[in-house]
Amino acid sequence: MLWTLIQREILANLMTFRFPIAVIACVILGLTITAALTDNYERRLASYNEAFQTHQEKNFSAKTYSGLTLQLDRPPNPLSLFNQGLDKRAANSVRLRRDKVPSVWEDNYFSTGFDNPFRHLLASVDIVTVFQILLSLLALVFAYDAIAGERENGTLHLMLANPVGRGLIVLSKYLSAMICLMLPVLISFLLALMLQLQSPVIDYSTADFLRIGGILLTTIVYLSAFYLIGLLISCISRRTATSLISSMFIWVVLTFIYPNASLFMVNHFIETEEKIEQADRETSQIMEGFQREKAKLRDPFAPPFLLKGHWSGGSISKDVTHIEAASELEIPTVKAYYQELEPQRLRAVEAAWVVRKQAYSETFVHRSTAARNALRLSPAGLYYLATAAYAGTDLAAMEAFFKAVRQYRQTILDYFYDKKAFSSRQWFASDKGAVRWDDLSRFSYQALGDLTEDSSRASGELLRLLLLNLVLLIVTIVVFSRQEV
């Protein structure tokens, strides 16, 4: 029985002019946006490769231990084609120094997501944005007259005269419309994916395909949520016109006004400045304390100079290229100075980091968690969050990069301790040969991290979306069953 009903409904849906419009709109938009984004990705990858090459050459050119500063790059994420998330906005090039612990919330890093920073002025969309707007609209357009229309035409009476359960009718309408709506989605998704694979630089692994599968699944669940919203409205409304207009208002509120207004309010009501300023004060106190300790020590590079010779470098890095024989006697004093100073510096930096980390978690992290929670109340928000997690472009993925950078910083510090670098001559002088960095492991970072971690974040959102679907379906069936026709 269900199958007969579904067949009837599918045929009815396919015959309307909505169906070809849906297919054409999805395909055209999906393809143009994919083409533009693929091109953009290729450029970003090229610029990353170039930057990576130059930094690779420069990074280990320091001749002394204290001269080591590194520029570490985050590669662009190919799945940002689906949901760009924060991929173009978060910092993608981090200068790593021993006197600073890097964090995603620092504001002195650079993002070359667009090489031309003015490009941020032009809105840029991705596949998920297009689907988020277009599919929800299509779902409502397919749903608004599903029940109200039949009631107006009087065909609902006719159908109910047969021995069919009302729940079955709702179910058949739902399933048939979903089959019809999935067609344009699958077609445009497949075409977009094929177009992406044409690019010589995009090469997805199995894990990446699983992520793309996750995005597709979320898209379908999102579509179904909006169809059910439309169906419920259609069920409640007496007239198709009312159903259509209420659907449109609900659409504009759910996809547009609610997400923007809620984020706006979160941004507005969660204060960050005061706590950050306080943290700034505390960190500068810590660093001043360190400077006072430093002032107690005799700085060999402050006049009168202990070493006679040539050197270069700034406040934290020194490179002495030539020491006059008469100064050789002073070398142990200089070594002792650094052995005393550097661990103190690192302790101060660590203490400052603890303060800042605490401040960030109370302000920015807290605010972005609140924003995520607010977004969860709208299916459009859930769709964005789930796909960003699958694509590895959400905040957690950006933080993962900084976590890797911090770990690498720790590796370097451990390496210094292992080598007893602070108390070595090569800490400040390269006159007896430059430091060889061969045995220090190199930093490497993949744009796409661990699949299980990302998908566990995504599946939380997906589950909420599924739950919403279930609730909507049950409510629709209950409302429809108790209604007078």
Partner 1 sequence: MLWHIVGRELFQQLNSLRFLFALLLIIFLMILNAIGHIKQYKTRQIEYRQQVSTALERLEKNSDNLYNLVMRGPGGLNKQPSKLAFCAQGSEDYLPTSVLGWSAGWSRSSPTYKVSGLWRLMYDVSPPITGTDIFPTFLKIDWILIVSIVLSFLALVFAFDAISGEVERGTLRLTLSNAVARGTVLVGKFLSILMSLGVVLLIGILMNLLLLSGTLQLNGQEWGRIVGVSVVSLIYLSVFIALGLFVSSLANRSATSLVILLLLWVIWVLLIPATFGTILSGLNQPLSTQDYKAQRSSQRKEITERYEARGVYEHVPTRVRPPTDATVLWAEFLNEERRADFRLNKEFLAARTHQIQVAREFNRISPTAIVQYAVESLAGTGFQRHLDFLKNAERYADAFNDFLIAADRADPDSLHVPFVREGMSDKPVSFESIPKFQDSVRLGDAFKGALLDVMLLLLFFVVLFATAHVSFQRKEI
Peptide bond into 117 cis (omega under 30): no
CB 199 → partner 1: shortest distance, Å? 15
Question: Are the C-beta atoms of 263 and 179 separated by less than 8 Å?
Answer: no
CA–CA separation, 126 and 138 (whole Å): 18
CA–CA separation, 151 and 157 (whole Å): 7
Tokens representing 485? 């026709």
Footprint on residues 4-63 left by partner 1 (CB under 8 A): 17-18, 21, 25, 29, 32-33, 35-36, 39-40, 43, 47, 50-51, 54
CB 231 → partner 1: shortest distance, Å? 16
What residues does 94 pair with on adjacent strands?
72
Residue range at the interface with partner 1 (CB under 8 A); choices 117-125, 193-201, 290-298, 456-464: 117-125
Which residue lies nearer to partner 1 by CB, 103 or 476?
A: 103
User: Is residue 348 a contact point for partner 1 (CB under 8 A)?
Assistant: no
Amino acid at site 162? N
Which residue lies nearer to partner 1 by CB, 62 or 388?
A: 388
CB 101 → partner 1: shortest distance, Å? 14
Which residue lies nearer to partner 1 by CB, 131 or 290?
A: 131
User: Is residue 134 a contact point for partner 1 (CB under 8 A)?
Assistant: yes
CB 204 → partner 1: shortest distance, Å? 23
Footprint on residues 265-304 left by partner 1 (CB under 8 A): 265, 267-268, 272-273
CA–CA separation, 398 and 250 (whole Å): 33
User: Is residue 155 a contact point for partner 1 (CB under 8 A)?
Assistant: no
Residue owning tokens 């600073």 = 100
Which residue lies nearer to partner 1 by CB, 110 or 209?
A: 110
Footprint on residues 364-403 left by partner 1 (CB under 8 A): 364, 367-368, 371-372, 375, 384-385, 395, 398
The C-alpha angle 279, 359, 407, rounded to 5 degrees, equals 105
Neighbours of 222 (CB within 10 A): 28
User: Is residue 1 a contact point for partner 1 (CB under 8 A)?
Assistant: no
- Give the CA count within 13 Å in the CB-facing half-sphere of 105: 18
Residue range at the interface with partner 1 (CB under 8 A); choices 6-14, 104-112, 174-182, 440-448: 104-112
Which residue lies nearer to partner 1 by CB, 249 or 417?
A: 249
Which residue lies nearer to partner 1 by CB, 105 or 338?
A: 105
In the set 96, 216, 231, 263, which binds partner 1 (CB under 8 A)? 263
CB 247 → partner 1: shortest distance, Å? 10
Residue 198: strand, helix, or coil = helix
Question: Are the C-beta atoms of 92 and 74 separated by less than 8 Å?
Answer: yes
CA–CA separation, 319 and 312 (whole Å): 5
CB 276 → partner 1: shortest distance, Å? 8
Footprint on residues 59-88 left by partner 1 (CB under 8 A): 86
Which residue lies nearer to partner 1 by CB, 266 or 477?
A: 266
CB burial string 237-259: b at 16+ within 10 A, e below? beebeebbebbeebbeebbeebb
User: Is residue 465 a contact point for partner 1 (CB under 8 A)?
Assistant: no
Residue range at the interface with partner 1 (CB under 8 A); choices 101-109, 328-336, 338-346, 427-435: 101-109
For 134-245, list the strands marked E by DSSP.
none
Question: Are the C-beta atoms of 214 and 461 separated by less than 8 Å?
Answer: no
Residue owning tokens 């015959």 = 15
CB 4 → partner 1: shortest distance, Å? 26
User: Is residue 178 a contact point for partner 1 (CB under 8 A)?
Assistant: no
For 182-318, list the strands marked E by DSSP.
309-312
- Give the CA count within 13 Å in the CB-facing half-sphere of 300: 25
In the set 3, 15, 57, 115, which binds partner 1 (CB under 8 A)? 115
Residue 96: strand, helix, or coil = strand
User: Is residue 119 a contact point for partner 1 (CB under 8 A)?
Assistant: yes
Q: Which residues contact 305 (CB under 8 A, 6 or more apart)?
A: none
Footprint on residues 193-252 left by partner 1 (CB under 8 A): 240-242, 244-245, 248-249, 252
